[in-house]
Amino acid sequence: MPEVKRLFDRNRMWAERLKEINPDYFSNLAQQQSPEILWIGCADSRVPANQIIDLPPGEVFVHRNIANIVVHSDLNCLSVLQYAVEVLQVGWVIVCGHYGCGGVRASMMDDDNGLIDNWLNHIRNVQRLHSAELELLDDHRRERRLCELNVIEQVRNVAETTIVRDAWKAGAGPEVHGWIYGLGDGLLRQLCVQKRGDGELNVLRKSLEEDCDVHP
């Protein structure tokens, strides 16, 4: 299996490059992790958390799934969030979506996708919630706007968890940010933020899709 061997070769070269820069890099990294950021992102291979914010291993605690969804019944996501907030005591939770999201696109179609349709229904709920706005847009803009709205609603979901609420009541807890990434230009845009003491989510702009790349 030459392809698998190539991956091990690349791993070895990567480790050697880092040790040339700092011989103690891995021994120091092995001692502990103290990231200040929890990143909840899409599983899309084109949106690697550490790389697009140019941070090395150990700086970002990461949870990824299809379409960066936060569901209060998802024990995987909630366990990550609890560990990040209560143990790592991160200062920021970032929900990051991206334009051209395959999960968002699939949720807008009538196709039978099998098991994943149960997951995509969470995005369809976002679409129904904002149907009046979305129905005014053409197909391309509707998809891009739904990518944004999905991020905003997932930020609300994070902020409404007992994990974050309890931390805020105790006078601690993270800021929760919603970002979106442009595949066509590699840039991040901030959509919304909610902090301890905020009465409600602060949506920074109605839509940023005009600022981004025309294509996904």
Condensed to tens digits (0 to 9), the pLDDT of residues 7-25 reads 999 999 999 999 999 999 9
User: What is the three-class DSSP state of 8?
Assistant: helix
Q: What is the pLDDT of residue 196?
A: 86
CA distance readout (Å), 6 to 1, 18, 111, 127, 182? 9, 19, 37, 43, 30
Q: What is the pLDDT of residue 214?
A: 47
Q: What structural domains does the chain harbor? A: 1-31 (no CATH), 35-211 (3.40.1050.10)
Which residue spans within 33-91 are E strands per DSSP? 37-42, 60-65
**Rounded CA gap, 145 and 167, in Å?**
31
Q: What is the 3-state secondary structure (H, E, C) of 83-137?
A: HHHHHCCCCEEEEEEECCCHHHHHHCCCCCCCCHHHHHHHHHHHHHHCHHHHCCC
Q: What is the pLDDT of residue 208?
A: 55
Each of the 216 residues of the chain gets a pLDDT tens digit; together they read 569 999 999 999 999 999 999 999 999 999 888 999 999 999 999 999 999 999 999 999 999 999 999 999 999 999 999 999 999 999 999 999 999 999 999 999 988 889 999 999 999 999 999 999 999 999 999 999 999 999 999 999 999 999 999 999 999 999 999 999 999 999 999 999 999 877 778 887 665 555 554 445
Catalytic residues: 42, 44, 46, 98, 101
Q: What is the pLDDT of residue 203?
A: 87
Residues in the chain: 216
